[in-house]
Amino acid sequence: MILKIKTSADVPSSEITPESAYYSRRDIMKAAAMGTAGLAAAATLGGIDTPLFAQAKNYAAPRNPKFVADPTVDPLNKLEEINSYNNFYEFGTGKGDPVQYANKLTTSPWTVEVDGACNKPGKYDIEKMIDFTQLEERVVRHRCVERWSMVIPWVGVPIKHVIDKCEPQAKAKYVEFHTLLRPSEMFGQKTGSLQWPYVEGLRMDEAMHPLAFMVVGLYGKVLPNQNGAPMRIHIPWKYGFKSGKSIVRIRFTETMPKTTWAVQNGNEYGFWANVNPEVDHPRWSQARERRLPGFATSRPTLLFNGYADQVQSLYAGMDKKVLFY
């Protein structure tokens, strides 16, 4: 099989999706034309949750030209696709569940606990952890282990910015990201569908990589709850389950974190989980994927989800098999 690895960091600026591309969506145009009075009405044309979205806090940020996708190859997914098809078991195991139930979640105030091998342990407000004046937008591919993928315009800051504030010690080898544990608002946590809270983790150098992103927004607005508000990580070269949502704790460790899916079923969901067409999931081949909302599993999977040129060096010399699961 031929892997076409595009140098994703070096897309010429002529190929960058124009800033206006997604703002020209019919419903938003209409909303603008009709003025605020017509905003909610027009937004309902956009589908699920759009009225809420139209009123959401503005997080418009300049697009980082280093992290963009070629719109002819990787056109953006619509907001309605990104915010209505989610794996967020805290709100139910169905992919349509989070959009229905996540509105219960209170995301303000939001504090993050920092602990483990670092010099700045403590509890911090989200405003202390994320520099909202430094927000940038990136268009990246998102690849789920279940073989579907999307292209998403996230808004956020590199995870490195957040980690630097914690001043990790030299002995810190890994960093854990814990999702909120609040069964009163997350009914899925009352079931045993997974071990709660959801824990994900990265090796320090992975987390410090420029591609590793702390997301607070989507499509220039505050992140919808079902996508992991108010802050979630996104690791574009790994399968989606590595990208924990609604983060409340960042912990630095010397040993490899026991991540939720690896505990649940280590055979199928390992710690590394780097996207690789040649390493099958036990229940399906990863050679191809479905770019939603497409019908067919017809797209060749790219090594490291197409970011090999940027991240391959992180794994030099590591055993191939260990690496991908």
Partner 1 sequence: MLKTGYEQLCKLLNAIATWRYFKPVVFVGCAVPAVLLSIKVIASAWIPSWIPLVDSTIGGLGVDPLKTLLHESGEDGLGVLLACLAITPIRRIFKVNGIQKVRRMVGVFAFFYAFVHVGIYLGLDQLCYSVATCEFRSIVNDVLKRKFIFMGMISFTIMAVLAITSTSGWVRRLKKKWQTLHRLVYVAAISGVIHFIWIQKSDISEPLMWAGWLTLFLVIRVYFAIQKRRVVPARIRP
Q: How far is the CB of 52 from partner 1 (least distance, A)?
A: 15
CB closer to partner 1, 107 vs 297:
297
CB closer to partner 1, 38 vs 122:
38
Q: Is 165 strand, coil or helix?
A: helix
Distance CA 120, CA 303 (A): 36
Q: How far is the CB of 207 from partner 1 (least distance, A)?
A: 26
Burial class (CB in 10 A: 0-12, 13-18, 19+), 158: buried
CB closer to partner 1, 138 vs 291:
291
Binding site for partner 1 (CB under 8 A): 45-48, 78, 80-81, 84-85, 89, 93, 95-96, 148, 191, 193-194, 264-265, 280, 282-285, 287-288, 290, 292-298
CB closer to partner 1, 93 vs 108:
93
CB closer to partner 1, 7 vs 265:
265
CB closer to partner 1, 130 vs 144:
144
Query: In Å, what is the CA distance from 178 to each residue of 94, 171, 228, 240, 266?
Result: 22, 20, 12, 15, 18
Q: Is 77 strand, coil or helix?
A: coil
| 257 and 309 Cβ atoms separated by less than 8 Å | no
Q: How far is the CB of 192 from partner 1 (least distance, A)?
A: 8
CB closer to partner 1, 4 vs 283:
283
Amino acid occupying residue 102: A
Q: How far is the CB of 193 from partner 1 (least distance, A)?
A: 5
Q: How far is the CB of 150 from partner 1 (least distance, A)?
A: 9
Q: How far is the CB of 157 from partner 1 (least distance, A)?
A: 28
Query: In Å, what is the CA distance from 235 to each residue of 38, 101, 123, 313, 319?
Result: 38, 25, 24, 16, 21
Distance CA 214, CA 207 (A): 10
Q: How far is the CB of 31 from partner 1 (least distance, A)?
A: 14
Q: Which structure tokens are listed for 201? A: 């983790």
DSSP conformation letters of 241-263: GGS--SEEEEEEESS----HHHH
Distance CA 208, CA 162 (A): 10
CB closer to partner 1, 183 vs 294:
294
The b/e string for 100-136 (b: 16+ C-beta within 10 A; e otherwise) is ebbeebebeebebebbbbbeebeebebeebbeeeebb
CB closer to partner 1, 6 vs 78:
78
Query: In Å, what is the CA distance from 248 to each residue of 44, 200, 231, 258, 284?
Result: 32, 12, 9, 17, 33
Q: How far is the CB of 177 from partner 1 (least distance, A)?
A: 20
Distance CA 208, CA 211 (A): 8
Say how far residue 260 (Cα) sits from the centre of its chain. 16
Q: How far is the CB of 273 from partner 1 (least distance, A)?
A: 14
